[in-house]
Amino acid sequence: MPLTIHHLGASTSERLLWLCEELCIPYTLIPHRRSSRTLLAPRELRSLHPQGTAPVIQDGDVVLAETAACVEYIAQKHGGGRLFLSPSHARYADFVYWFHWANGTLMPNISRVMVLQMAGIRDAKHPMVKFAQDRLDKSLKALDDRLTAGNTWLAGGEEFTAADVMMVFPLTTGRYFTPFSLAKYPNILAYLKRVGEREAYRRAMSKGDPGLELELALGAEPPKRDLSKL
Ligand SMILES: N[C@@H](CCC(=O)N[C@@H](CS)C(=O)NCC(=O)O)C(=O)O
């Protein structure tokens, strides 16, 4: 039985589809729609794993949640370790750092802004708003600095890795939920253009959410789409 990926519409689980498309790993895709009222995961998805969030993968007896864990599991178990750099690789430390930075630093910094917006706390002078915005700006600046001309991909140089697969969702589809501009970050924009040119990325995006007809959100400004239509 092939690997099964439970994908929630417009969510982080798109990263697993992209990974499998990059590695040509066969998978069964089970799509789940968000609740139109809360945008949360439906009961069928929540019941699969105690974490109750997307993604969830099933592989034989294994049921796994948490994006980075799933990415590592799939690449190591089904992809022969491709897109992961080994400890002997000259860029190993950079790879590990950026692989974890996506969910360990960027996502929390975006989520803090999202929670404040959802709570209606938007006054730019509010100390929490200032703190949250400052942390997000610092993250985006750090990422932009990393993606200078010498670094086509995040681990450094020309080598596309799982760190790239982890990084893109918060900068693209994630902006349906937390809209922010990337206009000040030319290196991130050039990076997203390169991502959009990857056939595997385009294939994954068209397989993931065909009914939603989402624009890919690879440009400077966030998508304007009404979240309730997701
Ligand atoms: N750190 C977790 C976060 C998972 C997560 O929050 N997923 C969101 C989609 S981006 C979700 O399932 N939202 C619906 C819900 O919380 O019910 C991961 O990367 O897997």
Q: Distance from the CA of 12 to the center of ligand 1, in angstroms?
A: 7
Measured distance CA(69)–CA(51) in Å, rounded: 13
At 164-213, the pLDDT tens digits run 999 999 999 999 999 999 999 999 999 999 999 999 999 999 999 988 88
Q: Distance from the CA of 148 to the center of ligand 1, in angstroms?
A: 30
CA-proximal residue: ligand 1, atom 5 (nearest): 53
pLDDT over 70 for what percent of the chain?
A: 99
Token look-up 């105690």 returns 50
Task: Give the residues across from 8 on adjacent strands.
Answer: 32
Residue type, 147: L
pLDDT over 90 for what percent of the chain?
A: 92
CA-proximal residue: ligand 1, atom 6 (nearest): 53
For each of the domains in the chain, give its residue range(s) and CATH number, in order of start: 92-198 (1.20.1050.10)
Strand ordering across the sheet containing 56-59: 27-32, 3-8, 56-59, 62-65
Residue length, the chain?
Answer: 230
Concatenated DSSP letters of 78-100? HSTTTTS--TTSTTHHHHHHHHH
At 204-225, the pLDDT tens digits run 999 999 888 889 999 999 999 8
- Cβ-contact 44, 138 below 8 angstroms: no
- Cβ-contact 67, 49 below 8 angstroms: no
Asked if pLDDT for residue 226 goes beyond 90, the answer is no
Give the DSSP letter of residue 195: H
Residue type, 90: A
Q: Calculate the CA 4 to chain-centre distance.
A: 19
pLDDT class of 156 with cuts at 50, 70, 90: very high
Q: Pairing mode, if any, of strands 56-59 and 3-8?
A: antiparallel
Q: How many CB atoms lie within 10 A of CB 95?
A: 24
- Nearest alpha carbon to residue 11 among 59, 68, 55: 55
